[in-house]
Chains A and B, each alone.
Chain A
């Protein structure tokens, strides 16, 4: 058996890579991809713990989360479309109207 902490470190690494992408990327699609990465890291975490406790609940939850991630991407695409229609470009740095 692979010890649990390997899975956890892996999942945190993927999470931070996704976070890095969110913080630095300007293109909205890359932003969305990074969000997906973070979600997958969390799902990985779930599966790891399902193995650790020997309970199928974790894996079921992970499947659920994947399906929800897909739905959320649909919503995200909608937001990107609105961003494009209002600002003419999908650069997230352009949308700064709600500021002081």
Chain B
């Protein structure tokens, strides 16, 4: 029986081949490379599903494909490319390939049918991105993960700046690349630190660095630490360094500023990269090396706090935006904040669950927004829309499904995952004030999320059409409606894989995802992480009113209730025939929110200060270093200029010089030779 695991490289290589085909085939390809991309991602999807079913039962596959550097001497590290297939990575493989396939199909409608040019470059970029993301997912060591991390960043740059002949896309692409690169700098230092400390960067196995870290904390193994730093402090620092890259890539505060500008790229790109996959890379990385993070409670607290804060922070900014894609961008930042909150609170399953459901419903919302943009002839301003639900029923229904999931209304998928995050944060937060703060932020973000989501829905689809384009939108083909339908269905049912509240209340076993993530290699399971959490991080679940059921009901009730409240407020304000901009009532606060709390200006100011520092270095280089070099040459130049003036051409001067020289010579010889 052929093992699915031997086909794992093909999962990564198929999209890469479609990249090469699009790169070299260029304009000669049918549909400019779309069919190649669709075929490749479909193939990868089938292989991923096969791998997914092979992993059932806890089979884990780890294989090194290529050793590209071997160390010598004492510290014989090896730098390898390899694959780690376990429940988490196989689940992520399915998610990534599915959404990539749907985005490729959607691009037929968004790009090809709209008559866009330069499409081979677009499909090449998409193919390279898919290959890089899949490579990242299967990575079995931190360095390989870093390499693919950077590759996806590069593809994001290329695709955001796809329409480079305009002014804003190249600028947005540069900003995305630079801001994430800033975080990746710390990530790289963290990778080096991991290698130096543990001698290996492998994620899994008894010799992996999470396992070694645990043994170091036990005292059974000695690891290198700089200076006199304690082992736990050093692990916290490593965790924070790697967190730098995560914060950049997953657009958390303060490195979130690139994501709204990344909306300059084509909408399918936004759906694939900036909603479902690339920004998930950061969260996936933390989940992948969760065995390391759970050992350091300080890092976990910071993750939770950053996540919770970002969730609320971004949600407030989404309330006042005018363009549909901007609202979705801030929503993405906010939802990834929730995932970080879940990871910080110790709930690996809740984070992965939300990653999955968010991938589906956010991709759905972005593709829906893309459909609306096609219909509105690329006008993104929601205030020019209205009344589209009658003209675009499929889009409307799927978009509504996605919005309900995003807002967290039961029984849509978003409710189950968000509820689990908030529940876990709550119960662990009862014993830890920082986690409780994160929970409060997350909870406050729930009504805001529901509000801006439904503001978006009502402004776009309800009411009377406000412009001519809204009255006669462009019709859509099935290459647009098909992916929307698929994702719409998923947005509804994906939540049913882990209905933990129902299970807790009724006792019926419904937590398939938890069980799935509990199988697998030792050290990579959910219960394993829980054990480590309890032992090293001191996480202890609390209860309210002495009963778990009560705690559950309170948490779930709060979450659902606040979400419904948000929806009702949006309903009352915006579900009218002629909505007005109620956010004007916020006055000065609206300006602050609209300008994103001036974070963009702040970062520009910071970079200008860096430029000043660079200017000082430049002055030093020009003045001191160049000055020394020029000075050395001027010695010979000036010296020569002075000495040549001896040649006056007057015979008497020469005779005088001769005389003086002779006299001096005689005196010297007389003194030395003893004549006198």
Contact = CB atoms under 8 A, between A and B. Distances in A.
A31 B648 CA distance: 19
B632 interface: no
Given A19-B659, A23-B659, A93 B652 contact: yes
A95 B649 contact: yes
A24 B649 contact: no
B651 interface: yes
A43 interface: no
A31 B651 CA distance: 10
A30 to B, nearest CB: 12
Nearest to B652: A23
A93 B654 CA distance: 12
A53 B656 CA distance: 35
A96 B650 CA distance: 6
B638 to A, nearest CB: 15
Contacts of B651: 31, 92, 95
Interface in A1-40: 19, 22-24, 31
13 contacts: A19-B655, A19-B659, A23-B652, A23-B656, A23-B659, A92-B650, A93-B652, A95-B649, A96-B648, A96-B649, A98-B647, A98-B649, A100-B645
Interface residues of B, number: 11
Interface residues of A, number: 13
Interface of A: 19, 22-24, 31, 92-93, 95-100
Report whether over half of chain B's contact residues are helix, strand or loop; otherwise say mixed.
helix
Contacts of B644: 100
Interface string B640-664: 0000110111111001100100000
Contacts of B647: 98-100
Contacts of A98: 647, 649
A97 B644 CA distance: 14
Contacts of A100: 644-645, 647-648
A71 to B, nearest CB: 21
Nearest to A93: B650
Given A93-B650, A96-B650, A23 B655 contact: yes
Contacts of A95: 649, 651
Contacts of A31: 651
Nearest to B647: A100
Given A19-B655, A95-B651, 14 more contacts: A19-B659, A22-B652, A23-B652, A23-B655, A31-B651, A92-B650, A92-B651, A96-B649, A97-B649, A98-B649, A99-B647, A99-B650, A100-B644, A100-B647
A17 to B, nearest CB: 13
B26 to A, nearest CB: 68
Q: Which 8 A-B pairs have the closest CB atoms?
A: A99-B649, A96-B649, A100-B644, A100-B647, A92-B651, A22-B655, A99-B647, A98-B649
A19 B644 CA distance: 25
A24 B650 CA distance: 12
Contacts of B650: 92-93, 96, 99
Contacts of A23: 652, 655-656, 659
A72 to B, nearest CB: 16
